[in-house]
Homo-oligomer: A and B are copies of this chain.
Amino acid sequence: MQISTKGKYAVRAILNIAHHPKETPVSLAAISKEEGISLLFLEQIFQSLRKGEIVRSLRGAHGGYVLARDPSDITIGEIVRLLEPPLYTSSCFSKHEAVDDCRIADSCLGFVLWKQLAELVDGFLDSITIADMVTQARPEVVYSLRVKSNRMLPEKARKETSPEPLEVV
């Protein structure tokens, strides 16, 4: 389970743009140089970001990219989802079935588990905006995340019949 460089690069690039004055376009060439990311790769990434309406492009000489919305209206989650495959793609099995489409999901514990995990991650990443990150010069102060009670219902009658065997097609 990893975040791809594509996702990380995208966040870095957007952060870079966000550090510039609101209306001055930033060229990919500049970002490439500053962040040490391949220009060609950036171009590919920015197509997704543009289509996802995270950035707007200004073509021509002295053109570049500009945030399409207010930094406080762009979340890390949005960016990451544009560039990563979804964390929660499918059932317990690889990819045989579409999301939420396993016909034995009701009796499947893994189903709930992975789905909860995906929602947790999305919730976290969606709770952080670009504005949050640029107004923060340094990260030292940044913390207040706390998981309160994250247990799976501990109190439940012990069941004795085996769960129906999970059949595979």
- Give me the interface of A with B, judged by CB distance under 8 Å: 1-5, 7-8, 11-12, 15, 19, 34-36, 72, 76, 80, 84-85, 87, 89, 92-94, 106-117, 119-129, 132-133, 135-154, 156-159, 161-163, 165-168
- Contact at A120–B147, with CB atoms within 8 Å? yes
Question: Which residues of the other chain, B, contact A115 by a CB distance below 8 angstroms?
Answer: 166, 168
10 closest A-B pairs by beta carbon, nearest first, are A36-B168, A123-B163, A137-B159, A112-B139, A127-B150, A132-B152, A144-B154, A148-B148, A146-B148, A127-B151
Q: Would you list 9 pairs from A and B whose C-beta atoms are within 8 A, ordered by A residue?
A: A1-B1, A3-B117, A106-B138, A106-B140, A120-B124, A123-B147, A135-B159, A142-B153, A143-B153
